[in-house]
Structure 1
């Protein structure tokens, strides 16, 4: 029996991963995740997601219940709409990711070169225009989605600083930048309760090669994640049960 369960789990995971490589939208992916059902598949998805740095691993608190196909499809449909709206925001790089519950989420990356001047956490005029549109057309029309904000830097050292001091300064700068984004979004009407976490991760989780200027530019970034709140999940469960 255990062998059969394991085979079913592997088969479900294989179906999920192969579909993600194609053109399936979030609605379809969400339905597939839910159909795989249960807590075991959700755990596997979470494990796979956590192995992909910067792909949304750890976003959201696990609700501790199995998510059905209907719930996954309903949430996936909403995420599709949020993703499409975010793609219309200038300077935003948008992709689909998986949250801690195995549900579809949206990751929006803003290049720090667009957001900030070197070694500064003050938002540029380009940044405020992009963030204002992001707030009005995405976050403020999806208030049932929680938001997590993460700031990152490259690994370049600071003048007249030791290696350890540079690491800490990069950590501090990344948090200041993440807070700048969070504070401006709130000024644009985003509810403080919608933004569930703001983190500065410094040099951690580079997405490109820090040995090149182009790579360092990609690593200097702020990521904003939209994922299903517990309330959104509960409402989807109630709707799917009707």
Structure 2
């Protein structure tokens, strides 16, 4: 089931109202300029404060999604497209954790979807099979940018884990590109042992923390189409 953050628009309006009303220059700004300010300020702040509303972990993905908020009618059009894409991802890969956030999608590929062995960044055969299912959806929705975040458990030095997490994200990107998706759509970031989704005190918990997350947002073409009512 696709999860969806509720009351996000209300929170953005309240937050943006506070921020905008504090600036005299806003009185002379256009609606478009105000929308840009709302998207930038609301996304940055809400990305930090709403993490607890979508479960543990994923602050990187959440921040990336909320940072790209367009707002207004265009934002609604983008949101509808993301609703459809999220449902297709959920149907294609039931083992994934799919969350609709704002105008984008946070996708967590844990051990049931893309599992990494301890101290490894290579993709298992199961991981490749599950990524193949994602390729079909990403091919159908080409007008998105995707940030891939790699994670580790807490075993080992922080610097080592940061590199390992980057290698994991790069492995996923390389595989998706090999399957025909444009590499330019993807950005990779290693998060190391940050944002654990389970306790690192057990083997089972550490296994779940060795994961990748995706932040899926509209690219420039999708934004432009939405602003033109498409």
TM-score tier, shorter chain, comes to: 0.7 to 0.9
Distance 1:15 1:213, change over 3 A: farther
1: distance between equivalents of 2:12 and 2:87?
A: 27
> 2:62–2:215: 8 Å Cα contact kept in structure 1?
no
3-state DSSP class of the match of 1:135? helix
For residues 168-197 of structure 1, what are the alpha-carbon distances to aligned partners after superposition, in whole Å with 9 as ceiling and x for unaligned?
2211111111111101101111111111x1
> 1:82–1:142: 8 Å Cα contact kept in structure 2?
yes
Q: Which runs of 5+ in 1 are unaligned?
A: 1-10, 18-33, 99-103, 158-165
3-state DSSP class of the match of 1:176? helix
In the alignment, which residue of structure 2 is the partner of 1:38? 35
Cα deviation for residue 112 of structure 1 reads: 4.7
TM-score by length of 2: 0.74
Distance 1:45 1:116, change over 3 A: closer
Distance 1:15 1:209, change over 3 A: farther
In the alignment, which residue of structure 1 is the partner of 2:76? 73
State how 1:152-231 maps to structure 2 within 5 Å: 152-157=151-156, 166-195=157-186, 197-231=187-221
3-state DSSP class of the match of 1:57? helix
- What is the RMSD computed on CA atoms of the aligned residues? 2.8
Cα deviation for residue 41 of structure 1 reads: 3.9
93, 97, 116: which is aligned to 1:93?
Answer: 97
Cα deviation for residue 50 of structure 1 reads: 2.3
1: distance between equivalents of 2:48 and 2:220?
A: 20
1: distance between equivalents of 2:79 and 2:163?
A: 35
Paired residues, what number? 195
For residues 54-80 of structure 1, what are the alpha-carbon distances to aligned partners after superposition, in whole Å with 9 as ceiling and x for unaligned?
1433316967xx945321111011101
In the alignment, which residue of structure 1 is the partner of 2:110? 111
> 1:112–1:222: 8 Å Cα contact kept in structure 2?
no
TM-score by length of 1: 0.71
In the alignment, which residue of structure 1 is the partner of 2:11? 13
Off by >4 Å, runs of 4+ in structure 1: 14-17, 60-63
